[in-house]
Amino acid sequence: MYKAVLRFPICMYPVGLIKRSYPNSEVYITPTKKEVDELLKLKVECIALDATTRLRPKQGLQTIINYIRTISPETIIMGDCATYEDVLCCNQLGLDLIGTTLRGYTVESRGMNNLQDNYAFIQ
């Protein structure tokens, strides 16, 4: 009988985000360039952005992604999603990671969660 132990390298990135509310938007996870600049000063390896289709307080999602890619191309960008449409948008925008922690917290996903239908949303 043979026994084998397989080891895989694990890549772990501390994810930086700033939760800040603005009066004209429901987006609060790293909502503007201002929060991005604050995170970059901390030298985080990964920045999480609200990647839902909701109205942002200042700059659009594409603008913020382009901003990060221009001034800090090595920074990993994570899009936090609530719906399948958000995931598709993240894919089109070329984000590096996709999170689903906003599922159930937006008007579009209210009452939904990642456990439904045997984890279908995250598969």
User: DSSP assignment of 51-63, as one string?
Assistant: -SSSPPSSS-HHH
pLDDT value, residue 23: 94
Averaged pLDDT, 32-53: 96
Q: Look over the chain and give the mean of its residue pLDDT values, rounded to a whole number.
A: 86
Question: Residue 102: which pLDDT band, with cuts at 50, 70 and 90?
Answer: confident
Mean pLDDT of 71-99: 93
Mean pLDDT of 91-95: 95
Tens of pLDDT along 45-65? 999 999 999 999 999 999 999
Rounded average pLDDT over 73-91:
93
- Which pTM value belongs to this model? 0.83
- CATH domain 15-122 topology: TIM Barrel (3.20.20)
**Token digits of residue 23:** 């009066």
Residues 72/75/80/83 CA torsion (nearest 10 deg): 80
Nearest to 98 by CA among 62, 56, 25, 48: 48
| Tokens (6 digits) for 29 | 């996870």
Instruction: Please report, for the chain, the start and end positions of each structural domain, with discontinuous segments joined by +.
Output: 15-122
The reported pLDDT for the residue numbered 108 is 84
Taking CB atoms within 8 Å and a gap of at least 24, the contacts of 19-26 are: 22/57, 22/58, 23/57, 24/55, 24/57, 25/54, 25/55, 25/56, 25/57, 26/54, 26/55, 26/106, 26/107
Q: CA-to-CA distance for 101 and 21, rounded, in angstroms? A: 18
